Structure 1
């Protein structure tokens, strides 16, 4: 007996010539532009993203197809199918199919997730209060403030998700909003206009295309990232063991003599550029670097840690040059260095302020959590008075003074919470940190919904 979400009968009905041709039109709307841009076939999507995502994407197009009317006999496949084959379906299955007939794809923000049971979903396009959705599978992976494109349909007195559910990054959401503003808003509009349900229903393919574009870009490779010298960004930690009998004070004297070393304290130096060396970034790349308040570019850092002198830089070229300067200045005071290398992708994959898995420690978990939370308190309190890119380079306190800025601050805080909640280990101190005080501090707690 078919379940309420079983659409096999409808899919068999799709094999009829008239409906197969109609579905081709919808399929082209959802995938044509993305496939043409990458010179691909739909089969290539499964190769790149996997069979599960390919089926989910196909389902998004199929559910959109179920809502549309065509100039063929019957007009709509759901109406025609229920008329001819509805007697084969259970009452609950027919109710689900009818709900899909009038369903609307929208972008939702997730909150109050109860794994395996339910969540609250706030419509980011049409507005309104968050609604409760009964969901078993997706709630096991969704996190607070995640954004998803989905169809929410009523079934048996509850709200449920249809099959086509896509998780959206901030970048994908911005691309979608840009497209909707271009389609429905005034020229150069910055705000998303009010969109009628029937218009949003007709724009369902924009969700698939926005998700595909963002996912292809992330899956098929990051742009090349360089420092200001034009060197590929690869993080190097060069550790020089101190020779036997050598004291830290002996090392400090020699490091101070290295050109470009600016001492911050007894154990830490910034290695500064003496004069511009840069080859500059190249087209199609991101250029990243750090500068001091006076504009001096930081080439790396040198730090004393126990019986090791550490040189940290962001390229192989700088690591080689810095290591040569240290060997020249310190000579026999240090032994042959060991080097740890990490790429940008590896850095991004590591949780910030990570705790080494399996590392021996006598610190009880509750104490470690307290220490990490105290560190985060200090870090985020300082951030409240520092420019933030997501806030137009305003400080959070400055942005919170206007109505538009308050909305941006709320989105920024949700982003912080969302990233924190995505730690693989839910007991990780990063995952258990509470941002509630920041909402109150900035006066935007009423927007936390």
Structure 2
């Protein structure tokens, strides 16, 4: 945070007994439901989440405290501090503190990001016009359609974010909206009613708790392993057949691999071979997922011929690498360079039932040309338009586009797809340059892309 928005003096002022006790009550609203359940201390959160997020969470509670009035005179810590110590602060710092004292935490959707300069924020809770936010460092990593729980305050002619900013996943957003609907709406309400600023101000702890429940759930989730001790990550290695290569020739060569057991004309099980002289040297330290044949032989993967492609399925990166090398050595010039689709356990679980394509984000190896990758994604998403999507209530995108409620869910889904594509770690990766804007037009909702 810039020095002109430094709150260190105000934080020192918090140590006074008359304010510290009040702060402890606010702090408990934000973290008590989490800490009490696990009989934990706030320091334990830092060990799980890291110092950065622990400091951010503490800042969320502190900024909420700055907005509250208590018994006595003065009733607000910012008013008291500025009256006694304000002369030590710059005009901009005083304006920032005063703005925080009346601020409201809300959930915003990010768009029109100008790295190092600004972004546009649309309030997802209150019915208000989008605003331009001046921001330097955060805009270097923000992506289109990110969701942020934040306090946006006007300071000397500019809208700026405070320090307590939490990135929200779709799951955390759903938890938050369910909580707000329960607090401000009728029981089982489908839509959040109009919420006044003072009402939302009083519900600031719900943002912290929604973020924590979602984040801790993901952090604490145990990692599944296979019998090799590798983390379960599903790989589909898709080998295009070379021009002129026949399926019969492919099958003949695959049958020369001792570890490949043919189940039918186009399907093989890849079986584990017991090393000579003993057992395996590596084993899972935790309970492992295993697939076996009827005779108990462990299955490492599956190989299947589908049209002009040979598919290798394996449940870890190590197995996919071994299987790919084995197939390429055996088939040689009968197959071309493969495409690799990777999905985590979480993504696979989210797809069932109903084919939740909202989480089916493919990771395709960077050595493939941009054109090849984009053509693959075009085909993939074109098929998705006619498949049930969990995020759309298990309706297909084309079905969702036929109703007003469905179109709103469709917009959220398309924004999610765009956002996940934009978050590729390398900007030169072919996935990062792929645009799903054609899907908006195909589904007739391009006018809602804002």
Same fold (TM over 0.5): yes
Change (3 A) 1:236 1:84: closer
| Farther off after superposition, 126-135 or 147-156 | 126-135
Cα drift, residue 201 of structure 1: 0.3
Name the structure 1 match of 2:422.
Answer: 421
- Identify the residue that residue 248 of structure 1 maps to in structure 2: 250
CA drift of 1:258 comes to: 6.7
Query: Residue 68 of structure 1 aligns to a residue in which SS?
Result: coil
Q: Indicate the larger mover: 403-412 or 79-88.
A: 79-88
Q: Distance in 1 between matches of 2:118 and 2:60?
A: 22
Deviation at 1:59, TM superposition (A): 0.6
* Per-residue deviation, 1:212: 1.0
Q: Structure 1 residues 254 and 427 mapped into 2: Cα distance closer, same or farther (>3 Å)?
A: closer
Post-superposition offset of 1:386: 1.3
Within 5 Å, give how 1:145-156 maps onto structure 2: 145-156=145-156
Kindly report which structure 2 residues correspond to 1:367-378, keeping only aligned pairs within 5 A, or say none. 368-378=369-379
**Structure 1: 5+ residue stretches without partners:** 227-231, 239-245, 264-268, 272-284, 290-298, 324-341
Question: What secondary structure, in the 3-state scheme, does the structure 1 residue paired with 2:121 have?
Answer: strand
Deviates more, 1:85-94 or 1:52-61: 85-94
Task: Give the TM-score of the pair, scaled to structure 2.
Answer: 0.75
- Partners of 2:146 and 2:235 in 1: how far apart? 33
Aligned residue number for residue 66 of structure 1: 66
Residue 276 of structure 2 corresponds to: none
Residue 73 (structure 1) shift: 2.7
The CA distance in 1 between the partners of 2:400 and 2:383, in whole Å, is 15
**Residue 431 of structure 2: SS of its match in structure 1?**
helix
Shift in alpha-carbon separation, 1:20–1:439, aligned structure 2, 3 A: same
Judging changes above 3 Å, is the alpha-carbon distance between structure 1 residues 237 and 391 closer, same or farther for their aligned structure 2 residues?
Answer: closer
By how many angstroms is 1:248 displaced? 3.1
Other-structure match for 2:116: 116
The 8 Å contact of residues 121 and 130 in structure 1, kept in 2 or not, is answered as yes
Residues 146 and 418, structure 1, Cα contact 8 Å, conserved in 2: yes
Cα deviation code 1:240-264 (max 9, x no counterpart): xxxxxx9535347899x9775363x
User: What is the DSSP-based 3-state SS (H/G/I as helix, E as strand, rest coil) of the residue aligned with 1:128?
Assistant: coil
Give the counterpart of 1:261 among 261, 264, 268: 264
359, 362, 365: which one pairs with 1:352? 362
User: In the TM superposition, what whole-angstrom CA distance separates every residue of 1:85-121 from its partner, at most 9, and x where no partner exists?
Assistant: 2222221111111100100000001111111111111
Going from structure 1 to structure 2, the CA distance change for 1:237 and 1:3 (only over 3 Å counts) comes to closer
C-alpha distance 26-447 of structure 1, shift in aligned 2 (>3 A): same
**Partner Cα distance (1:60, 1:88) in 2:** 24
Q: Partners in 2 of 1:261 and 1:400 — Cα distance?
A: 41
Q: Determine if the alignment matches structure 1 residue 383 to structure 2 residue 384.
A: yes
Q: Displacement, 1:72? A: 2.7
User: Given the superposition, is the C-alpha separation of residues 262 and 185 from structure 1 closer, same or farther in structure 2, using an over 3 Å criterion?
Assistant: farther
CA contact (8 A) 2:373 2:430 kept: yes
Change (3 A) 1:8 1:236: closer
Kept in 2: contact 1:18–1:72 (CA 8 A)? no
TM-score (norm. length: structure 1): 0.75
- Matched residues in 2 for 1:310 and 1:158: separation? 55
Single out whichever of 147-156 and 36-45 deviates more from structure 2: 36-45
Q: What corresponds to 2:21 in structure 1? A: 21
Q: Which whole-Å CA distance do the structure 2 matches of 1:201 and 1:165 have between them?
A: 15
Counterpart in 2 of 1:312? 313
| Contact 2:343–2:360 (CA under 8 A) maintained in structure 1 | no
Match of residue 278 from structure 1: none
Q: Is the 8 A contact 2:10 2:81 kept in 1?
A: yes
Q: Any stretches of 5+ residues in structure 2 without a counterpart?
A: 238-247, 270-286, 292-299, 324-341, 349-358
